[in-house]
Structure 1
């Protein structure tokens, strides 16, 4: 099985997808006139704008739901993997894909808001499947995305998160993976049977706390190693551009692994972020576009960077070339993953480093699994719009619990490979789609900025902008 998964992974994550991710981010940055820079202040202001309603969640809750999907094991184990196979220079390319990807996140999330609708329970639903059908008029394409997303977020991706939790727990306290699996399944079951509002309330409490606590510890380590900061920055940049001779053997891999793990972590363009974005209660779609662009910054520029600086400043990491030969090996016998971060924290704060990272992983990865369930459920809701199939939600819940159990006890390599396939499939389908249907999101940005300049609280009118298919906004 692992051989087949490896072949599929290499096929999906070819250089074409890496070029597509970077190219789309650069293109949207130019088309939006680098809104990720111009609009940074507006992103911050909008975080606390708006309130929760019976149909939708507040903008902050939508951000928390989105971050719960973005901030996961990729921020710890993913960074370690990128450094192992791409060298320290991979961190630079993670930054690049986050900076460019913020504009991509704006486009896909604004489209999700424009084309959202209410389901049978009166809850907002939206995402790529919805805007593909309404803006492109290609229902078959929308169904392919919906099915691919249910498979990816319901079956393939949860196992990666659960596997990292198990590794962290075993390294810190020797907890058997089977015990970890049982705890995760019980906790997850209690939340996913509670609906979107329970998910929103859970994530808005957990996500900010876990991210701030993790970054605080990273800052402590960075402060204690402050003399090494210039060297770490120089190492990252030198490895990215080939001036560090020691990492010349992995120079080409730095781009590949940086982009690959960057997309896995911040999910810009993958098509996951639009699902919680569509659930927000806002007066104008661009508002949630700004907020979701900011979430990419939080994920990669803040949390991933925290992990990278912890690992690199302590010098506790391994780097392998394409043949598997060690270039740097300061942690012999430790596989790329949570162990790097645990060793880094332990070296500065002896006695509780491994436990702290294990707890951080538990929060990061568990909330990501919850977010994956919500995304899969949203696509089930799309499939069920015209024919009610209540059994599909029950099957999804059972399937994601089974996937978590399987992923917890399987090897990390297989879990990551399956996760990469899920991410890659969604990215291919979604990026192609938003490149085709980008115009409404760009119109919404221009309209939002014009209304703000006129001193108004922007309100969206699709007819005035000649945007077809935005039926929700015409009814409200």
Structure 2
């Protein structure tokens, strides 16, 4: 199984996809005139503005849901893997992916807002929706939807739960080993998998509102706590920072593990972590209740900075400052070996050792707890994404029980991922990420050349910014954007309300009596 999955990854994650991810980010950065830099202040303003409605969630809640997908085990175990297999220079390429990917995130999230739908009182949208409406290729949209259901409902949740299981086992011990039908498993992992599955079921059976309510509290808290710990460790080793930064940049261009390894692992883990271009973030973006599609695009663009430039960088600096890492060479050889050879790079142990070396007794339990919240909220985001794509398919094919079946499959996948080997879990996750990235990036690039809807929305939003409007509006017909049905109806209603209000405010004309 491991060999087959590795073979698939060698095809999916060929250099073509790696350069496609970087190229798409660069292309949209130039096309939007580096919106990720120009509109940074507006991103911060929008972050805390906006309100939820009966049909949609607020901008901040949508950010929290998408961040729950972005800020996950990739920020802890993924960064460790990038360093372990690509060397310290892989961190630089993660930064590059984040900076360029912020423009890609703006584009895909704005498209999701433009082409979202009202599905029985709940906003739905994402790549499948905008591929069908903007490209006019329903068959391609179906392929994306099916691939996403498989990736987010089966493959990716196991990566998250596997890291939780490994961290719990490293922190508290494995306990008794038990023989089962799927192999010999530690009691710690069985208990952990069971707890995760039960908690997951409780929340996902409550719908997107419960997911949003949970993530808007947990995500900011867990990210802040993690960054504070990292900041403390960095401060304690502040004199080493210039040397670490120099090592990261130097190794990016003269890499110890080979140029292909550094850029390949940096891009792969960067895309896995911040999801820019992967097509997962747009699902949460579409659920937001905003005045203009570009607003949520900007908020989602900001989430890339939080994920990679803050959380991933915090992990990287902790690992590199404390020297708690190995760098794999060809075969079983090591280019750098600072910790025991049996410690897997595809796991959270590098990060646990980094904290443990500075704060004895804290590292393993802290990372176990942090990973639980990081990974658990990511699993919730994966469920919502899979659910949205089932809702898309259900528009054409009415099969009863699809949502219920998804919940059961996801809970099973989470338990199975908890108890299986890390390398297989990560490899299967890479297959899912790669498939979605291929389909989505090709889709958004094609849509750009067909009509440039995301760019038109950005220009319209910036025009209204300059005019200083109090309330933004979006008229897709005026902009030449077709099939944006929700926004067409909304604009028409806003115009009717505005006309009615103006008529009410006008004072009836009374002629003056000249003889009075």
Unaligned runs of 5+ in 1: none
**1:473 and 2:487 aligned:** yes
Q: 382-391 or 414-423: which moved more?
A: 382-391
Tell me the SS of whatever aligns to 1:171: helix
Is this contact kept in 1: 2:351–2:367, CA < 8 A?
A: yes
Q: Map 1:297-376 onto structure 2 (within 5 A).
A: 297-332=305-340, 333-336=342-345, 337-376=347-386
Query: Alpha-carbon deviations, 1:355-377, whole Å to 9, x = none?
Result: 00111100000000000000000
Using the TM superposition, give the Cα deviation of residue 89 of structure 1 relative to its aligned residue in structure 2, in angstroms. 0.1
Residue in 1 aligned with 2:496?
none
1:252-331 matches, cutoff 5 A = 252-331=260-339
Structure 2 counterpart of 1:400? 410
| Equivalent residues, number | 471
Q: 1:389 Cα deviation (Å)? A: 2.6
Partner residue, 1:102: 102
Contact residue 390 and residue 402 of structure 2 kept, 8 A: yes
Q: Is the 8 A contact 2:87 2:256 kept in 1?
A: no
Would you say the 8 A contact 1:168–1:358 is kept in 2?
A: yes
SS at match of 2:54: coil
Deviations 1:334-388 (A, max 9, x none): 1112100100101111111110011110000000000000000000000011443
CA contact (8 A) 1:277 1:292 kept: yes
Instruction: Using structure 2 for the length normalisation, give the TM-score.
Output: 0.90
Assess if the C-alpha contact under 8 Å between 2:87 and 2:257 holds in 1.
no
Task: Assess if the C-alpha contact under 8 Å between 1:85 and 1:250 holds in 2.
Answer: no
In 1, distance between residues paired with 2:285 and 2:246? 37
SS at match of 2:476: coil
Q: Aligned ranges for residues 24-39 of structure 1 at < 5 Å?
A: 24-39=24-39
Q: Give the TM-score taking structure 1 as reference length.
A: 0.98
- Structure index of larger Rg: 2
SS of 2:33's equivalent?
coil
In structure 2, what is the equivalent of residue 208 of structure 1? Answer: 220
Alpha-carbon displacement from aligned partner over 1:214-248 (angstroms, at most 9, x marks no partner)? 00000000000101111110110010011xxxx53
Which residue does the alignment assign to 2:124?
125
Q: Equivalents in 2 of 1:167, 1:368: separation in Å?
A: 17
Instruction: Verify: 1:461 aligned to 2:471, yes or no.
Output: no
- Residues 400-434 of structure 1 deviation map (CA, whole Å, 9 limit, x = unaligned): 01101111111000000000000000000000000
1:451 aligned residue:
464
Asked if the contact 2:324–2:338 (Cα under 8 Å) also holds between the matched residues in 1, the reply is: yes
The DSSP-based 3-state class of the residue aligned with 2:256 is helix
Q: Name stretches of at least 5 consecutive residues in structure 2 with no aligned partner.
A: 175-187, 491-516
User: Would the aligned equivalents of 2:86 and 2:257 in 1 still touch at CA under 8 Å?
Assistant: no
Q: Is the 8 A contact 1:85 1:322 kept in 2?
A: no
SS at match of 1:473: helix
Aligned-pair CA distance for 1:291: 0.3
Give the RMSD, CA atoms, in angstroms: 0.8
Give yes or no for the alignment of 1:409 onto 2:422: no
Shift of 1:259: 0.2
Contact 2:85 2:257 in 1 (8 A): no
